[in-house]
Amino acid sequence: MATSIVRYLGELRTSSMHMQSGTEILTDAPTDNHGKGEAFSPTDMVANSLATCMISIMAIKAQDMDIELKGTTAEVTKIMAQEPRRIGEIHVHFEMNHAADAKTKTILERVAMQCPVHFSLHPDIKKKITFNWK
């Protein structure tokens, strides 16, 4: 079964339908590349995927450790590079809602770096990952 179906809607906008759940995601071309910027751009989605993957992997490990990460946030900044136009850097800053000892912090931060998106990104993309624990 396909993962998704992408439809071009015109005016540099797409609709992606997740086949298993029926969830829809819209993307627009960014304003610096002829678009309206009224939704995530495809490269925004790549950068955002890194953060969502890292949070998900940490949450899986946290469940095993009987720790609740609900409320954790990640601020994502994507920096484009030119020639060729591509993602040059992704910065992810986590605000961890859980007070944790040094061992727990180390375990969760290390597991976050093992997420599949992190390993899937081209090594030329600089990744700056930071954690702020309460």
Render pLDDT for 105-117 as a digit per residue (tens, 0 to 9).
999 999 999 999 9
What is the C-alpha separation between 104 and 23, in angstroms, rounded?
34
Sort strands 73-81 and 24-28 into parallel, antiparallel or unpaired.
unpaired
> Measuring CA to CA, which residue among 48, 125, 46 is closest to residue 88?
125
Domain edges within the chain: 4-33, 42-133
pLDDT tens figures, 35-48: 999 999 999 999 99
Name the CATH superfamily for 42-133.
K homology (KH) domain (3.30.300.20)
Edge-first strand order for the sheet with 126-133 is: 73-81, 86-96, 126-133
The candidate with the shortest Cα–Cα distance to 29, out of 45, 50, 17, is: 45
Asked if the model's pLDDT at residue 54 lies above 90, the reply is: yes
Q: How many CB atoms lie within 10 A of CB 47?
A: 23
